[in-house]
Amino acid sequence: MSDKINISVSLIDYIGEFDGGVGVILSLNLNDELYEMLYWFNPQNKRLFLIEDKFYQHFPEIRDIQEYEYFIDLLYHIDTEILPDKQEIFNEFL
């Protein structure tokens, strides 16, 4: 992989409440390749990320999106810049 990466994330849709948390569909643009992700989170700060298999085909050394070297930066970006305040989301869906 080159030293320079281009990452952007877009909120596609809210899935809504399930299993005590809220799910959202996100689009990850990574070096001009799009990947659809599911992000689930709950008020107890548990999180789950699922990303489409195409990501793992492009990064075969990664078995879980959380192993991606920029995952913490990606999570911070999603939580602080992409999604509205989580309490607002919980108030609407839970």
Is the pTM of the predicted complex or chain greater than 0.75? yes
Residue 2 has pLDDT above 80, yes or no: no
Mean residue pLDDT of the chain comes to: 94
Terminal CA-CA length for the chain: 41
Q: Smallest Cα–Cα separation from 86: which of 44, 25, 28?
A: 44
Structure confidence by residue, pLDDT tens digits, 18-73: 999 999 999 999 989 999 999 999 999 999 999 999 999 999 999 999 999 999 99
- Residue entry with tokens 């107890």: 44
